[in-house]
Chain A
Amino acid sequence: EAQVTQNPRYLITVTGKKLTVTCSQNMNHEYMSWYRQDPGLGLRQIYYSMNVEVTDKGDVPEGYKVSRKEKRNFPLILESPSPNQTSLYFCASSFLLGSTDTQYFGPGTRLTVL
């Protein structure tokens, strides 16, 4: 089954404690992206990756890191989480623009930073 998986689905942590949210896709997509969703703000892109070892900032990258060492995985790293990073996070993947494909989203990770 074609899918994007994220782990964990729910996470409560404390300020300053490093965490990683994993994302994996099994569709051989080149493009992967992280979004955060906040009430009244829609989805905003954090980071994206065009392919292995190619990453770039989205609209709200501060406080986040990513890596793309393998095509299927795109982890989101919060080195020192703060309460303003409490949000719903989505990973997404797709083939690159030029196809009529769309982005497939993971199930989301609800993060609470106390």
Chain B
Amino acid sequence: AQTVTQSQPEMSVQEAETVTLSCTYDTSESDYYLFWYKQPPSRQMILVIRQEAYKQQNATENRFSVNFQKAAKSFSLKISDSQLGDAAMYFCAYRILTQGGSEKLVFGKGTKLTVNP
């Protein structure tokens, strides 16, 4: 079964500090894409960062970066210099091309991040 596991239901961090959210996944596909989405209290799903599985270099977007370990099927998100506006639910997801040519996006259950002033 294709699954995404976020082992930390909740995390907290002090403002300006660094936090890492973990994500592991299980897929037999060799070509896929990985994402982190942020869901603030407004409920809007906002793309934070994405990583192509064929790329060895870890993706970075400003204060957000990932540690992608393909062999270990691990895709953690690091938030540096945490800000109050980073407080949200974070979802890890991957996107694969299934047999028959369709695509599928599989989500983890989420990690709720609290940022303390």
Contact = CB atoms under 8 A, between A and B. Distances in A.
Interface of A: 31, 33, 35, 40-45, 48, 50, 56, 58, 88, 90, 92, 96-98, 100, 102-103, 105, 107-108, 110
Interface of B: 4, 33, 35, 43-45, 47, 50, 52, 91, 93, 95-97, 101-110
B95 A44 contact: no
B110 A102 contact: no
Nearest to A50: B102
Q: Is the interface of A mostly helix, strand, loop or mixed?
A: strand
Given A42-B108, A43-B107, A107-B44, A102 B50 contact: yes
A105 B109 contact: no
With a 10 A CB-CB cut-off, give which of A31, A58, A97 has the most chain B CB atoms: A97
Nearest to B44: A107
